[in-house]
């Protein structure tokens, strides 16, 4: 009886370790693939294609320096007022340098998606989901 319990405990422990290892590996892979930092894995991200956010960032970053300035932003988003652009940069320019880097841009682009997909209690959607 005791031997059976020991064998069961070792088998169960091994299965738990394997599960935790697999989950950790999966989370690492997911973090590497989620290039638009929205908490979802799109088909484009999964197969390595350029995402819509990556394309938008490249289109706005006219000089290719890795940042979007207010003037670059305004050239693409002509329908926005200067005040709206200023408000967006005030909210999402975390570095406070008057420019948006890629992560800040992703935050801005995903803000509406995350607020719309939050549950009634305000918690965000699950980390691993499909678009």
Which residue ranges make up each domain of the chain? Answer: 1-33, 48-118
Counting as low any pLDDT under 70, the low residues of the chain are 1-16, 18-19, 114-131
Domain 48-118 architecture: Orthogonal Bundle (1.10)
Per-residue three-class SS string for 39-91:
CEECHHHHHCCCCHHHHHHHHHCCCCCCCEEHHHHHHHCCCCCHHHHHHHHHH
How confident is the model at residue 129, as a pLDDT?
Answer: 43
How confident is the model at residue 24, as a pLDDT?
Answer: 87
């Amino acid at each position: 009886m005791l031997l059976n319990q020991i064998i069961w405990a070792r088998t169960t422990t091994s299965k738990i370790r394997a599960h935790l290892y697999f989950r950790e590996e999966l989370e690492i892979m997911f973090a590497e693939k989620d290039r638009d930092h929205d908490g979802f894995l799109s088909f484009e991200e999964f197969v390595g294609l350029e995402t819509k956010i990556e394309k938008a960032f490249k289109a706005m970053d006219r000089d290719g320096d890795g940042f979007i300035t207010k003037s670059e932003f305004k050239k693409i988003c002509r329908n926005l007022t200067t005040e709206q652009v200023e408000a967006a940069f005030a909210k999402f320019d975390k570095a406070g340098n008057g420019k948006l880097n890629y992560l800040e841009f992703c935050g801005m682009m995903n803000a509406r998606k995350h607020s719309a997909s939050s549950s009634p209690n305000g918690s965000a959607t699950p980390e691993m989901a499909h678009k």
